[in-house]
Amino acid sequence: MRFNDASGKPVDLAAFRGKVVLVNLWATWCAPCRAEMPALDRLQAALGGADFQVVAIAEDTGGMAKVKSYLASVGAGHIVPYVDTSLESAHAFDVIGLPTSLLIDRQGRVIGRLVGPAAWGQPAAKALIEAAVKAPAAS
């Protein structure tokens, strides 16, 4: 599964192996995504770093300029913009609705899935991410 970074360079999810990743598949036309994005941005600001990253991939044919404009309009300054104009990411994860979030462990395995918006600022959500980060690596 490939998507593009802000410069248009192709990125593969394998590039994040070694850290826990919360992949959020969303679109600029999606109202629930708009409501969820500020919380994802705050989650990235609070917990993002060497061990964890929010990877918000816009499933949007409008391209990177539209994605950057959207993120700026909701005040999401900590989210690194990614876009998948081919919609391959949604197909790869059998997404049935947006937003869809997938928690991926350090080995690249999906360990959690949520269809619909989430309250990422809630203590339970942060505890889930922190537990995944603290989990021992599988051998």
Q: Note the pLDDT tens digit of each residue in 57-109.
A: 999 999 999 999 999 999 999 999 999 999 999 999 999 999 999 999 999 99
DSSP codes joined into one string, the chain: -EEE-TTS-EEEGGGGTTSEEEEEEE-TT-HHHHHHHHHHHHHHHHH-SSSEEEEEEE--TT-HHHHHHHHHHTT--SSPPEE-TT-HHHHHTT--SSSEEEEE-TTS-EEEEEES---TTSHHHHHHHHHHHHSPPP-
What is the reported pLDDT for 61? 92
pTM: 0.95
Calculate mean pLDDT across residues 43-63: 96
Question: Domain 2-115: which CATH class?
Answer: alpha beta
